[in-house]
Every structure is written in structure tokens, then in C-alpha cells.
Amino acid sequence: MGEMTDDKRTAIDNTDITIDQKLIDEGTAQLNSEIQVLENWLAELESTGDEDAEVAAARQSYHEMLSSRREMLSALAKQAKLQAVVTK
């Protein structure tokens, strides 16, 4: 097996970076979409004025999912910043 040339290594590294950035972009778009849906569901729950146990459980569940998505979005944003530093 021959040594990998610097050109080939650079091409592979650039491909990895492009793929990583694409995944980050897709993940960010997906999370933003899910956050919007959850916010809409919560707004609908608020507008009904119902306060039974089922509504309370749904609200709690949606809030937990929303919090989780926001944490993931924050982690992705940090990863994107790290990625930007690596590519420079």
C-alpha cells in the first residue's frame, strides 16, 4: 500500500468537513422545524383553556420535548462554531 499524497489527504479532509457541515445544517433545520411544531402545539393547548389532567400531561410532555430540542440545537450551534474554526 502506498502512502497517501497530501493532495488526496486534503481532498478527503475537505469532503469530511463538507459532509459534517451538511449534517449540521440539516440537523439545525430539522430541529428548528420540530421546535416550531411544538411551539404551535403548546399555543393550541393554551388557547383551549382546558385544564384537565390530560392537557396538563400533554403540556408537560411538549415542554420537555421543546427543552430537549433547544438543547440539541445549542449543541449543534457549538459544533458548527468548532467546525468553522477547524476549516480555517
CB 63 within 8 A of CB 43: no
Give me the half-sphere count of Cα atoms (radius 13 Å) on the Cβ side of residue 47.
Answer: 6
Distance between CA atoms of 47 and 53, rounded to whole angstroms?
16
Query: Domain map of the chain by residue range?
Result: 30-88
Within 10 angstroms of residue 76's Cβ, the number of other Cβ atoms is 19
Tens digit of each residue's pLDDT (9 = 90 or more) over 9-53: 665 666 666 668 888 899 999 999 999 999 999 999 989 888 899
Predicted confidence (pLDDT) per residue in 63-76, tens digit: 999 999 999 999 99
pTM of the model: 0.72
CA-to-CA distance for 40 and 28, rounded, in angstroms? 18
Cα separation, 53 vs 31, in Å, equals 28
